Amino acid sequence: MLPPILSNLRIPVVASPMFIVSGPELVIAQCKAGIVGSFPALNAREKDGEPPLLDAWLTRIREELDRHNQQNPDRPAAPFAVNQIVHRSNARLERDIEICHRHKVPIWITSLGARVEVNEAAHDCGGISLHDVINATFARKALEKGADGLIAVAAGAGGHAGVQSPFALLQEIRAFFDGPLLLSGAIATGRAVLAAQAAGADLAYIGSPFIATTEAHAAPGYKQMIVDSSAEDVIYTPAFTGIPGNYLKPSIRAAGIDPDGLGDATPEAMDFGKDQRKVKAWSEIWGAGQGIGAVDAIQPVAGLVERLESEYLAARRELALA
């Protein structure tokens, strides 16, 4: 059974949080379009001495969605989610939890570590928590720590992807968990959303296609590269952050590095050319999942969600499910 907060979406899709890319404009557009919008709390970075930008972003998201709901009572906005990177390196975690708790964030997405106190904070303000995992062992641990739902991050996902087949991952998790389960990795069409459900997920978790939207906080060249690229242009490597992730080969070439010569390179071992310039993962070396072959235009979020919905309904009809 899905909790009510995830039950009334236009299509069963949660837009995933993306470092640098996801900001208030993207989240507001996603929620207005009827799917869950999300952003990493760490994207809200104020300058030293300034008040927390996360506070301002959450106020703006609430106000704009409230206004939308008053003006469109027949098609209210979907709820939003905030992603917390639960890792020793995140010095802001405690502060960001307090801000999210105060704003009563409805959906908390946690990655890179499951912690009881984050789930408790989510529950205490009336929210739910979803934790992302790349295998069944991490899935069990996340549930032990109190996560309400799981995001199965399969092979081919943008960012720090897993390596398991979505079929293997979903069937193993479904053997011990019947709560909210999302599938992440290369989902870019409405047909694939339905396939995720058929394979055992409740909802699809979609990131990379939203990079090529007008509301995304991404360089024009990055958006166009998503449109121009397909699965063969994506490479899975630990070279840039130490953790394996999926990146666009053309962006690696543009930084003067041969993506096919990376081997098992790690950030420490890499020689970034004569001037030893350190390339920056995410801002210079661009992340993307394998599903981007389905993206053929930069367009507003509303247009992308419209396409996903019509494909989803067509696939249901074709398979005689509706």
Task: Tell which positions 239-268 bind ligand FMN, by CB under 6 A.
Answer: none
Enumerate the β-bridge partners of residue 38. 81
Element (H, E) at 304: helix 301-318
| Residue among 210 and 262 whose Cβ is closer to ligand FMN | 210
Asked if residue 82 lies in contact with residue 44, where contact means CB atoms within 8 angstroms, the answer is no
Return the residue of 5, 13, 17, 99 that touches ligand FMN, per CB under 6 A: 17
Residue 3, CA distances (Å) to 126, 132, 179, 244, 296 in order:
12, 18, 9, 33, 34
Task: Tell which positions 133-172 bind ligand FMN, by CB under 6 A.
Answer: 153, 157-159
Q: What type of residue sits at position 8?
A: N
The length of the chain is: 322
CB of 83 to ligand FMN, least distance (A): 5
| 186 touching ligand FMN, by CB under 6 A | yes
Return the residue of 184, 229, 237, 251 that touches ligand FMN, per CB under 6 A: 184
CB of 315 to ligand FMN, least distance (A): 18
| Residue among 77 and 187 whose Cβ is closer to ligand FMN | 187
DSSP state for residue 256 in the 8-state scheme:
T
CB of 267 to ligand FMN, least distance (A): 17
| 288 touching ligand FMN, by CB under 6 A | yes
Helical ranges in 33-149 per DSSP H = 53-71, 93-102, 116-124, 136-144
- Neighbour tally for 158: CB within 10 Å: 31
Q: Which residues bind ligand FMN (CB under 6 A)?
A: 16-19, 21, 40, 83, 111, 132, 153, 157-159, 184-187, 205-208, 287-289, 291
